[in-house]
Structure 1
Amino acid sequence: MSKVGKKGKAAQQSLDLFDPAVQQEQAGDLDFVLKIHDGHLHDLEISSVSNLLSALGQIVGIKQASFKTIKEGSTTIAVTIPNDLRQAAILNVTKDTAAKHRQIARIQKELGKYGYHRAEISYGNIKDDEVYEPKEILYVVPELETEETFIQEESLDGRLTRLQIGRDTSDHITIILKNGVEVPAQCSKKLLEELKPYFNTDTNLRFEGEASYLSKSNSYQLTLKKYIISKFHVIEDVSLEEWIDDFRAKGASNWSTHDDPIAEWLKERQD
């Protein structure tokens, strides 16, 4: 009985050699996958697909790697490698090197063309007509930070320091805000003559003009990058207590009836 069983098992193994699924399992090839969660494959230009595939191949860094597939849905681009090179490929994907950064930058550039944000590199096995489930996500491609500038009319309070004569029709100066932040500013040569007596003094000025702010996609903070002064006037250095007293004294507003006008104002704003 045991001899017959062995012959039957051997025959079955011979038949299995012709089964593609078994052949792949025995070969142990492993797929390394760049998956883009935004958009669709048909939206990508051929040059973008080529660049993404090239970057993935260089990040995996295995000479024996071969092209696996490009699939629709969440755009899936894959290369396949022999299983015995798994650890070397995983190390290449996860280690931090200048060469890897260059390839990630290529991927980010291509994603940025289409406004895509989410992509990752993983490994597993891609099978036809099955949803790819990664065995492990090795690297999440950082979202490429974008910058946007917007301009608005705004008044600023501050002091003047540093003068740099411009080569064009404007001159460049620096405004020191009350919190100590320095803002580069520019004005006309005519306005500069009026400002000169206030340079490097303790005189507080109120500027009116155009403020340029920088907004970054990965941060909610705004940075005031430039200010164009159109006019200004001197303001007194008034303490908070003096300001409240002056505010309360404005009888027409009825604020003088309140002990804490600021609290009352905030209360009205919340209602």
Structure 2
Amino acid sequence: MSSIAKKGKQTQESLDLDDSSQLEQEGDLDFVLKIHDGHLHDLEISSVANLLSALGQIVGVKQASFKTIKEGSTTIAVTVPKDCKAIAMANVVKDTALKRKQVSRIQKELGKYHLHDAEISYGNLKENEIYKPKEILYVVPELEIEETFTQEESLDGRLTRLQIGRDKSDHITIILNNGVEVPAQCSKKLLEELKPYFNTDTSLRFEGEATYLSKSNTYQLTLKKYIINKFYVIEDVSLEEWIDDFRAKGASNWSTHDDPIAEWLKERQD
């Protein structure tokens, strides 16, 4: 065989080897769950196992195999054969009951450690190299945490709807001045005093315990229930009467001003 032919054969073999290697690399597709604000050594073994299990079920390919679990920003990965790429990517992206269940598992595990920033991507995860995802397919939503707290508070409103309770308290509804309805409860003794005011236009001021619900994602407070300890009737006073009364109170000299409200607001701003 001539040296030219031999060289050509070697070159072709080299090209074939390179192509084979490139095809092999292209065939390896890694799906990665990365938790940016968490470190592996902070997680319990059971949490790591649950996260890996959830990722595997979201990818949803039987041929998928375990890839790695890495320290740093916690990185958990599985590898999928190239002929399963399309279905695996579709499973990660689409919204299904199965996926929501597994995402909920991930959120639950992250919530144990107060972690929030996690995502699922695909690419090629290599040893001793910084992982650069080809595409982030799904960002794990932050778990919404609900908390309740109770505080002493007075409410102004009217009474409507009565439901006799089976226990020592009865349940009623307060319509606040802004139209919002709040479920409330009171003792049977207090209910007897309140009965004349049901479904009337009489304004009442209630004093008692308010229970609020707060949600971490919205930072909004919702008044969930109210326990009435006592109440009294609010007299209907016109705005003009209220201003005259406001001017007359104390030695503030506000009565000398044409608009005492504006002066009061001015002082608050100062």
Aligned twin of 1:127 = 126
Deviation of 1:167 after TM superposition, in Å, equals 1.8
CA-based RMSD? 2.1
* 3-state secondary structure, aligned to 2:125: coil
Summarize deviations over 1:117-142 as a string: whole Å, max 9, x none: 11110001111112211110000011
> 1:94 and 2:93 equivalent?
yes
Aligned twin of 1:54 = 53
> 1:225 and 2:224 equivalent?
yes
Deviation of 1:14 after TM superposition, in Å, equals 7.9
Looking at structure 1, the residues matched to 199 and 17 of structure 2 have their Cα atoms a distance apart, in angstroms, of 91
Looking at structure 1, the residues matched to 54 and 116 of structure 2 have their Cα atoms a distance apart, in angstroms, of 17
C-alpha change, 1:3 and 1:189, in structure 2 (3 Å) is: same
Number of residue-to-residue matches in the alignment: 268
Deviation of 1:75 after TM superposition, in Å, equals 0.7
Summarize deviations over 1:204-262 as a string: whole Å, max 9, x none: 10011111110001112110011111111100122333322221222522211222222
Aligned twin of 2:83 = 84
Question: What is the TM-score with the length of structure 1 in the denominator?
Answer: 0.92
The one-letter amino acid of 1:225's match is K
> 1:262 and 2:261 equivalent?
yes
Deviation of 1:13 after TM superposition, in Å, equals 5.3
Percent of matched pairs sharing the same residue = 81
The one-letter amino acid of 1:92's match is N
* 3-state secondary structure, aligned to 2:150: strand
Looking at structure 2, the residues matched to 2 and 268 of structure 1 have their Cα atoms a distance apart, in angstroms, of 97
**Paired residues for 1:17-28 under 5 Å:** 22=21, 25-26=24-25, 28=27
Looking at structure 2, the residues matched to 106 and 87 of structure 1 have their Cα atoms a distance apart, in angstroms, of 24
Aligned twin of 1:172 = 171
1:3 aligned residue (2, 5, 9): 5
The one-letter amino acid of 1:245's match is D
The one-letter amino acid of 1:184's match is P
The one-letter amino acid of 1:200's match is N
Summarize deviations over 1:66-117 as a string: whole Å, max 9, x none: 1000011111100001223222211111011111111111111111122111
Deviation of 1:26 after TM superposition, in Å, equals 4.2
Looking at structure 1, the residues matched to 170 and 108 of structure 2 have their Cα atoms a distance apart, in angstroms, of 37
Consecutive unaligned residues of structure 2, counting only runs of 5 or more, are: none
Aligned twin of 2:244 = 245
C-alpha change, 1:26 and 1:5, in structure 2 (3 Å) is: farther
Looking at structure 2, the residues matched to 174 and 37 of structure 1 have their Cα atoms a distance apart, in angstroms, of 46
The answer to whether the 8 A contact 1:27-1:82 is kept is: no
Aligned twin of 2:111 = 112
Looking at structure 2, the residues matched to 74 and 225 of structure 1 have their Cα atoms a distance apart, in angstroms, of 39
C-alpha change, 1:27 and 1:154, in structure 2 (3 Å) is: closer
* 3-state secondary structure, aligned to 2:194: helix
* 3-state secondary structure, aligned to 1:253: coil
Looking at structure 2, the residues matched to 26 and 217 of structure 1 have their Cα atoms a distance apart, in angstroms, of 43
The one-letter amino acid of 1:41's match is L
* 3-state secondary structure, aligned to 1:163: strand
Aligned twin of 1:103 = 102
The answer to whether the 8 A contact 1:170-1:187 is kept is: yes
Question: What is the TM-score with the length of structure 2 in the denominator?
Answer: 0.92
